[in-house]
Structure 1
Amino acid sequence: MQIEPTTLIGKSVRLEPLSLKHIPSLAKVGLEPKIWRYMRYGKVETVEQLTEWVQDILKEQAQGTDLPFTVIYQASGAAVGCTRYLHIEIEDRSLEIGGTWYGLDYQGTLVNTECKYLLLRHAFEELGCIRVWLKTDLRNLRSQRAIEKLGAVKEGVLRNHMILPDGHIRDSVIYSLIPQEWPAVRLKLEARLAAGK
C-alpha cells in the first residue's frame, strides 16, 4: 500500500490534495462555529485559525499519517470543505476516513455521498486496503446517520475516548468496512448517486 497525494474526480465533486492555496476559498464556507462543534480542533472562526488548521494537517501529511483533500464543487470550481485519510497504517493496509467538514449549504447533500464513494473506491480498489474505518462523536447523530447510510458496520463505542478543546469528554462511535462488503456498498452508493439521493 503506497499513499501519495492524488486527485479523485467524480461527477459533482473533485478531491484535490489540500494546500495553502485553498485557504481563501475554504474561508468562504468554513468559518461557521456549527461546522467545528464536534471536531477535536476547537474553534475555527478566523482566516488565521483556518490557516493554522491547514498547516497542522499538512504537517501530519508530511509525517505520513494523513492524506488530506480539499473538496471542490465541480459546477462552481469553489472549495466547499475538506476530508482526509488519517491513521494510515501501511503494514496493516488500514486507514480512517475522517476529519470531514463541509460548508453549511453543502451538508446533507450528495457532496458527502460522492466524497465517501471516491475515497472508499480509491482505498479498496487502488490502495488495497483491508479495513477502512470511520468515527464520530456519540452526540453527532447526523454524522452517525450519514455513516450508517453508507453501509458501514457499527463496531461499538470508545468511551471517554478524547477530551475536546472545550473540556468535553467525548465518546466516539466506530464504524468500518472491509473488502468483502465493498462490492455491495459500491453498488448502493452508485445507485444513490445516479438517483440524486
Structure 2
Amino acid sequence: MFKFTGLEGKQVALKALEKEHSIPLFECSRDPEIWTNYPTKINTIEDMDSFIEKAIEARERGDQFPYVVFDKERDEIVGTTRFLRISEENNNLNIGSTWYSSKVWRTRVNTETKYLMLKYGFESLNTNRIEIITTIENKKSQRAIERLGAIKEGILRRKYNNMDYVIYSIIESEWKDIKTRLEGFLSEGSYETSNGKKHK
C-alpha cells in the first residue's frame, strides 16, 4: 500500500497541505502571471479555501497527496504541488497541480521539489511510471518538465477543464539516469538564492 510522508531537501521541505495553509498560500499567489496558463484561477481567499478543501477531500479518498512547498531559505511557504491520480493497482501516479510564487521562479525550488517527489515515487513507493502533464499553452512549464528528462508522449485533447494538455512520463528504467541528471543540476551551483547569490 502506498504510504506518503513529508519530504525534505537542502532548500525545500514538502509538508502535507492543511487548512491553516490557506492564508500563506494566498499571500504568495498574488502575481497574476501565476494563473495565466493554470487550468483554474484563485482570485480570493475563498477560492483558496475551496482549493485546499478539495485537495484534502481527494487525499482522504486516496486519490491525491497534496503538499505545500516551504522554502527554508526564505522561511516561508512559496507554493504547492501534489501526487495525484494515484493508482496502486497499476503502480503509477502523477505529479501535478503545481504552482509557485513568482519570487522563486528560476531558482532551485522546482528542480529540488521534483527531485524529491520523483525519488520518493521510484525509490520508496517503487512505482513503475510517473506522469507529469501541463496545459498546451504553458510553454514555460513544458520546458521545465523537459529539462527534468521526462519523455513527451503526446496531447490529451479537452482532458480537464475543457483544455488541451501535453503528457510526459518517466518510467522506472529511466530513473537512474534522470536522478543523476537532477543531482547534477542541484550541485552545480547554477541557481540563484533568495539573495541573488549563487548556490554552491
TM-score bucket (shorter structure): over 0.9
- Asked if 1:135 corresponds to 2:133, the answer is yes
Distance in 1, matches of 2:150 and 2:43, equals 32
In structure 2, the partner of 1:162 is: 160
Q: Hey, what's the Cα distance between the residues in 2 that align with 1:171 and 1:122?
A: 29
Which SS does the other structure have where 1:180 is aligned? helix
Deviation at 1:108, TM superposition (A): 2.3
**Offset, 1:162:** 3.1
Residue of structure 1 in register with 2:176 after alignment:
183
- Unaligned 5+ runs, structure 2: 191-200
d(CA) in 2 for partners of 1:129 and 1:90? 8
Q: Tell me, in whole angstroms, the C-alpha distance in 2 between the residues paired with 1:156 and 1:196.
A: 33
Counterpart check, 1:13 vs 2:12: yes
Deviations 1:70-126 (A, max 9, x none): 000011321000000000001111000000000011122210000000000000000
Aligned-residue RMSD, C-alpha = 1.2
Deviates more, 1:15-24 or 1:97-106: 15-24
Alignment of 1:32-181 (within 5 A): 32-40=31-39, 42-163=40-161, 169-181=162-174
Q: What is the deviation of 1:160?
A: 2.6
SS at match of 1:65: coil
The amino acid across from 1:53 in the alignment is F
Counterpart contact for 1:26–1:80, Cα < 8 Å: yes
Whole-angstrom distance in 2 between the partners of 1:33 and 1:87: 27
Q: Contact conserved, 1:33 with 1:43, CA < 8 A, in 2? A: no
Contact 1:70 1:83 in 2 (8 A): yes
* 1:12-31 residue CA offsets vs partner (Å, 9 max, x unmatched): 10001111122222122113
Aligned to 1:166: none
Identity of counterpart residues, as a percentage?
38
Helix, strand or coil at the partner of 1:38: coil
User: Which residue of structure 2 lines up, in the alignment, with residue 26 of structure 1?
Assistant: 25
Rounded to whole Å, the distance in 1 between the matches of 2:75 and 2:44 is: 22
Output the TM-score relative to the length of structure 1.
Answer: 0.92
User: For residue 174 of structure 2, what is the amino acid of its counterpart?
Assistant: E
Residue 31 of structure 1 contacts residue 46 of structure 1 at CA under 8 Å; is this kept in 2? no
Runs of 4+ in 1 over 4 A off after TM superposition: none
User: What CA distance in whole angstroms lies between the structure 2 residues aligned with 1:179 and 1:34?
Assistant: 34
Q: Secondary structure of the residue that 1:115 maps to in structure 2?
A: helix
TM-score after normalising by structure 2: 0.91
User: Gapped runs of 5+ residues in structure 1?
Assistant: 164-168
CA distance in 2, matches of 1:100, 1:108: 15
Q: Distance in 2 between matches of 1:119 and 1:190?
A: 13
